[in-house]
Amino acid sequence: MKTNTRIDALVPWRPDFDSDKPLFEPLRPLLTPFREFSEWPGLDAYQQLLDNAASPLRTQHGAALNIVAQEGKPNHFEQHYAPRIYLHGEIQTRTENWHDFFQLLTWFIFPRTKAVINAIHIPRAKQRIEDGEVGRRSPIENMLSLFDEGGVVITSCDPTLLQLIRDFKWKELFWQRHDELAGKFECTTFGHAMYEKALAPYLGMTANAILLEVDESHFAKPMNERLAHIDEQLTASFAAGEQYSQPHDLNPFPILGMPGWHADNGIEAYYDNSNYFRPGRQSKHKK
């Protein structure tokens, strides 16, 4: 079960942290410069990754991303975390911290979506500060935060597989239709907190999923093209602000049900654990 112990305390730096864990596949092309570190890389190594990018990663305001050390309590709006990113591209980053390490990497694999999520937060956060209600976020802010931290994207060319997620029919999806998943169904982790949790996975890990129906040809494309397509679709959906506007619009997804994502899920009894594979709310999720 989940504990309150920080992942940083549980898992020290290891350059091969992603070995034998399919969940980390989207990040692997970015990990090469970090393989040489036997101890935690410094913030200069993070900045070097940004400097070596083929083109600068930018916010919707046009600011190029750069790494800065985390500072103390902000004195005005522009010093808060999200506004500093939006206005100046400054990502406040803690040293020796998995959460912030994965935060940076997800900007590389989903640059447009991360930028639009950041931009949507800005006017709403400013209004809350002006109204003296800093902690009272709107439904869309809560939804975006849940997805940004713990989101995954499920792509499938078979709508009946996606419907099984909406209907909470986990055993049918993961076990009875196991052989159909290869080449038709993929789980791509978006949230940096979900990557962090995967360092010390536990039964109970549940992601906030967005479901995307794709053409069968999608799965024949290389990883970078699949990620770019997801990035484009998410950006359009969040910018429109209609399909995803509140936390309830996200689909709960027991991520360790994915075949091969947990050491024990190769047997049928694994999927009989109703404490993890819950029947859930029988509501009509948006497609």
pLDDT digits (tens, 9 = 90+) for 146-179: 999 999 999 999 999 999 999 999 999 999 999 9
Host domain of residue 128:
16-140
State the total domains in the chain: 2
Give the residue-averaged pLDDT of 254-261.
Answer: 97
Give the pairing of strands 206-213 and 251-254: antiparallel
Give the residue-averaged pLDDT of 110-126.
Answer: 94
Question: Are residue 120 and residue 156 in the same domain, yes or no?
Answer: no
Residue 277 lies in a domain: no
Q: Identify the domain boundary among 121, 140, 159.
A: 140
Residue 125 lies in a domain: yes
The reported pTM is 0.92
**What's the half-sphere exposure (Cβ side, CA atoms, 13 Å) at 34?**
26
- Rounded Cα distance, 28 and 34, in Å: 10
- Rounded Cα distance, 249 and 252, in Å: 10
Give the residue-averaged pLDDT of 199-211.
Answer: 97
Give the residue-averaged pLDDT of 262-271.
Answer: 96
**Residues 6+ positions from 144 with CB-CB distance below 8 Å:** 117, 120, 121, 238
Point out which residues pair with 154 in neighbouring strands.
Answer: 187, 211
* Residue 13 · residue 7 · CB < 8 Å: no
Q: Identify the domain boundary among 140, 169, 202.
A: 140
Residue 128 lies in a domain: yes
